[in-house]
A = this chain, B = another copy of it.
Amino acid sequence: MSRLFERVTVVGVGLIGGSLAGAMRAAGLAGEVVGFGRGEANLETARARGLVDRATRDPAAAAAGADAIVLAVPHGSYAAVAAALRPHAPAGALLTDVGSVKAMPVAALERAWAGRGPVVGAHPIAGSEASGAGAARLDLFRDRPCIVTPTATTDPDALGRVRALWTALGARVEEMPPAVHDELLARASHLPHLVAYALTAAVGAGTADGRAAIDYVGTGFRDTTRIAASASQLWADIALANAPALASALAEFRAVLGRLGAMVDAGDGPGLATALEEACALRRRLGRES
Contact = CB atoms under 8 A, between A and B. Distances in A.
Contacts of A216: 125, 145, 147, 184-185, 188-189
Q: State the number of copies, please.
A: 2
Contacts of A219: 127-128, 227, 290
A85 to B, nearest CB: 23
Given A128-B219, A198-B279, A209 B224 contact: no
B187 A202 contact: yes
Given A199-B195, A246-B264, A214 B232 contact: no
A214 B286 contact: yes
A82 B46 CA distance: 64
A203 interface: yes
Interface string A216-231: 1111111111111111
Contact of A237 (B199, B220, B247, B269): B269
Contacts of A147: 216
A156 B48 CA distance: 63
A229 B269 contact: no
B126 A218 contact: yes
Given A236-B273, A279-B228, A188 B217 contact: yes
A132 to B, nearest CB: 14
A183 interface: yes
Contacts of A246: 264
